[in-house]
Each structure stands twice: as structure tokens, then as C-alpha cells.
Structure 1
């Protein structure tokens, strides 16, 4: 098994995926829980002391009796001091080893809830369900419509609508890692409930159906055709014919826990569900760190899918501490990485802020517009190209994704330069890249 490298930048990294809570796997769960603690301890030693937590925790209200709760999850609500009538509702799902409180305190979502006026519901996993407190996105008993953890979160939404007056037509979901994978589950299983979602360092829906396949999905990833991925979404609720939720994808380009290939597969899955191609209709650079932002627009210009590739970070939620309009979050806990306030851009994509991320801005006419993204070049070993999602393997050989050019043996010794143009299409460019 690959262990996240403690020397990677921007702090600690999340442990491998959860193990099933079923009795035969309890010993393995305890082992991986220990591995998670060890990895974070080593990272802390190498990167220095973790800054002290913020003085005041975000106020959360625990909610019980929200339904039959078949997944045995906990529900918390954060209600800003001022809310409009029938406010939008955002559901947030934490990552492995985290809690609802930690995600509220560091993700930046409560700041955005106050600015944009939405109700925030946070679901929390328990160690009784999963030793590492990961949502069980890979178990069919928890990842299907009307079952387990997915059904529990559905009941939380129904309770928030009934008890807090949230608008049932403006319900959204976002999550990190295992929470991101569970976000994919909810968007597929309940397209009649969620208008949009944002998957942060997560995985495509129905990539795994057991523990073993969960590891393969995370690293090196699973490469299916867009049509195959889309069919898995449609099979989650066969009676549903649309409209489908809009989907935003966020992923660090140095993530070795859930490799960046998963961002490509998520793009393929949801663009195909929406009947779109896999070439972006608009590409730009956003935020203080020049995050690569790709939009896939449907008829009428509404962005159905967007992909945000965050440079220089590993596994975690991108945040940008500060008090500015586009700043949020805290880096005083593991898996919150100083780069860009993803919560700001996610709220915009949901249409909850003054800048509606779902509709491209008007054509400014002549003059400077969004920063164009030039063709990118990547020089790495064949192994690294595959890990990053720029190439695939077959029969021990490596092939550039898009052009399908044969790059030679799949190992760490053969090195090539790949040119990416257009986005997601790679070709050999040895000696011919600027």
C-alpha cells in the first residue's frame, strides 16, 4: 500500500480509505487507524508545530430525532445570525479522522453562510461505523438510494426543510475525500433532492463496491469511458430522467492519496450525464494561486460541470485564511491547505453569492479578459504520468491519455515530456515543449 509522503508540502495528509465496520475486518481497521495516527505524527515532526486552533469554535447545534437514521450518523446545524426567509441549504461532509466541528471550524463554510445567507447542515460519521470516521462511500449498503448513510443524510435534509424552513429547491452538498466520495453518492442517488454539489479530493460515483476496490480507486485510479461512468449514475435512480445536479470538482495536483486522475474521471462521469463533451467550453486561472478553472457549459450557457485543479497542494480542502471577500478558512488542522478559498468559489458555483458561478460573465469585448491557460508541459517518469492521470496502462505499457501514443514500459525509469492541449488531451512532446 502506498503511504502518503510526509515530506509533501502544505502539511499532513489523510490516511487511506476506511475499512468496513463488519466484524471480519475490525483488526484491519485498528491497524489502519494506527497507521493514520503514525503518518500524521511523522508529518507534524517534519513540518513543524501545528498552529494553535482558533480561539472560538463555530457554534453548532446537535439535532436528534431527524428520522429513522439507518446509517447511524450525527446531525449538526449552523445557523447564521441573519437568514432570509426560505434560505438555501448546504450539506457538508467531513473527511476521514475529522469531525463536523473540525470541518466547520476550518473549511470556511460558516463564513460563507454568513455572507451569502444559507443554512449549513453538517453530517458526522462515528468510529462505531468506521474506525477512521470515514463515510462508507464504498459499501453498497450505505451508497444506494434509500439505504444506510445516504438515506440518513436524506433525512437530515428533510428535517432541515421542515424545521428550519430551508428552500427544498435550493439544496446543495459538498465534502472532502471520503466526504467528497459520499457527495458523489448523494448526487447520483438523490438527483431529485440536490441542485448541485462540489466534490473536493473525491471520487466518481460507484467506483468501488468493497474495501479492495476502494484502494484501487484512490490510487492509481480507475479509467472508464464517459459513457460507462454516466451509466453508473443513471443506474442509481433509474426512474429519474433529469434535470441532473450540476457538479464542481476540486483537486490538488500533488494529491497522492486520492490521485488527480479521479478529477478527470469525475469530469468524464458528469459531463456525460449532462450530455456534454470532455473539452471545456471555457478555461481560466482563478484565485491568488492561479488555480486552473475549467467550465463545461450546457445549452444556454449554464455551467453544468466545472473542474478546479489546485497547483502545489496535496490532499485536503483548499482554504485561504483572511477576512477578504474571497478569503476564508483556517490551516490550524490537518487537511486544510493554504491556497485558495474553495468555499467562496463553491458558493458562487451554487449561485449563492453575488457572482453566480453557474453562468459565464458577459463578453467584455476587446481588452483583457480571464487569463488564458497556455499549453502545459509535464516531464515525469511513466509511473508518475499514470499517477497524475496524464496516461494509462495496458499490458505493462504506458499510453498518453487522449492521443493514446505508446510511451513505453510502465515503470519509474522511462521518462517523457507530455504536452496538454486542449485540456485533458496529452501527446508526446519530448524536446518540443517551451
Structure 2
């Protein structure tokens, strides 16, 4: 049964808005590509070019679906929705013809979206005709709808929210849920930011734009970012602040083991769960996060970033750092801490390298300092200034044996 023309627009649902917006974009784009100074027109409207390219698969799918539906339901050719579809198809062909005409002969192929992205590269590689100031060139190279720019801004929002507020002394400044957000945001931000710097290097062969923006990336943003370069600088600043704060937090909790960049995201949730991290108001994690293991004996599981032995090194370093900062309260807490330390040392037996050597030195220093702290002042003489070498474990390589010696040193003279 044929549908009344007055009801056809309602049958289009949200596709009508998509097609009308596409018609306006096509008209503007065709006018730009047909102009005499078309490269200058395109430079001023890179965002429009990318918007059309990114939405093209959705537009093609909508047109194909609506044409099938119109044929099946017998929509009249004089109806406004049918005319809209026909005009959008005609404009699509015209824009594609103009875009391919502006490309080098070797690249005149592919879909409309692919042709528009190639056209963007052609214009950017050609550079401005009469030269431009550095900031104007940066705006050209970084349109706001770049996928990488959107990704880095999304990740930077997490860093800004967590690290902009005042940080409490001692505990971690984020909750377990926020640590999980940081875990996902950190690699996303680094990958997207690296892609943006690489884009600047590729299109700005003079290097002025990248140098100009890198000098300003460490400055705190003073206003709401609007242009592409402002969004890049805003994201780069908060990513830098977040990485510096995380580096300091991890050093305080995991020294002398130094996490690699790829290991940092996976350590954040574990540390927050291990310490029962509080939120900005000092309140502990809500009850729904209890399954994540908000307690001291939260085990660090092996993952793609590190294996079981490496995870044990991090656990050993965290326990040793906690014991070095302050004595556990209560006999049960202290004994449990030493058991966790010894278990981690057992799991890390097969590890080697600089981090293991630094951990051995840290355990020997712990033995030395705790041995001295247990010596009464009246007996502190040059002969007793240093515990025997065997007690310190100078020749001992096994981490579990050093942990046992450290346990004895901590309880000596009790």
C-alpha cells in the first residue's frame, strides 16, 4: 500500500536530519572545490572536509536503506523525502567528481571519503601559497575533529579531574574506580598525542609549528580551549602533570624497583586496591568496589605488561617500602606483612637484572639500619657500629633468605 506523502518524512525518522545536514555540507564543499583558489578555501574549512569524510559511510548506508524502503512501499517520486534523497545523491556525485579532479592522476580512485582525506594531505603538503603565521598554520594542521585530538582530549579530562584537586598527604589521591579510568586513559593519551606530533612533523617540514607548540605545552592553560592547537596544548599539559604525579607516587611505593612505561597503567588499580584508596573527600571506596580487593594482601596478577616473577618483584618492593616507612601496628599485622614479603620473594626467585640487585641492596640496608636501631645506646661502640657481615647478608643473593634476615633484624632485641 502506498504511503501518503505527508507521512513520508515521519517514516524517514532521524535519517531526514542526517540527509539535510549532508546536503548542506555537500553544497558548501562543492563550492570550495570548484573555486579558483580552492586550496585556500579548503585550508579554511578542514573541519568540514573531515566531517564529510567521517560521516560518509553512515550517509551511504542511510541512502541505500531508504531507497530499498521507497521501492518496497511505493513512495511517489514527487514526495519531498524522495526529492531529498535524489538531490543528496546528485550532490554526492558532483562532490566526488570535483574531489577526484583536484587529486593527482595516480590517486584518482576510491570512495568519496577516501578521496577527501587524500585531498587534505595534498593541500597540507603543498603548504600555504603566500606563507602564514605559525599559529594560523597550527590551526590548519590540527582541525578540531581529528580522531586523535578527540581521543587525547577525552583522556586528558580524566587526568585533569583527578590531579587538579588538592592532593592529600600520604594516601593515593584517587580511588580504585579512578585508578581504573587512569589505567585506560594513560595509553590512549600517549598513543594519540604521539600521532598528533607525528602529523605535525609530516606536514610542517620546517618544524616551526611543532617547536612552537612544544615550548608552550608545559604552561598551565589559562582559558577554555577552543581551537585544535589549544586542545592539544591543554591535553599535553594535563598528561604531563599526571605522568609526573604518578611517577612520584610510584617511586614512593615501589622504590627501588622502577616500573617501565607499559607497566604503569596496570599497577595503578592494584596499588589503589592494596591501600584501600580514599576519594577526594577522604571517604573509602563504596561497597560495590569490595570485589576489587581493597586490602593489603591484594595480589598483583600477571598480565600482558609483566609476568608472574615481575609482579612478585613489585609486591616485594611495595611491602618493603611500607615496612621501611613505619612499623606495622599490632602483632598480627606485622606478622602478616612479613609473610606477604616472604611469599613475594619466593615467587621472584627466578628474576634477575638491575631491579633485583637494587632490591637486594635495599634489603641489606634495611637489615643494617634495623640492626643498629635495636642496639642500646650504652653498647653502641665502634665494634658494634656495624652488624656482622653474615647478619647483613652481604654475600646472600637469594631474596627469600634476605627477607628472613630482615625479619630477624626487625625483631632483634624485642
TM range (shorter): under 0.3
**When the two structures are superposed, what TM-score results if normalisation uses the length of structure 2?**
0.26
Which structure has greater helix proportion?
2
The answer to which structure, 1 or 2, has the higher relative contact order (CA under 8 A, 6+ apart) is 1
**When the two structures are superposed, what TM-score results if normalisation uses the length of structure 1?**
0.25
Computing the radius of gyration over CA atoms, which structure comes out larger, 1 or 2? 2
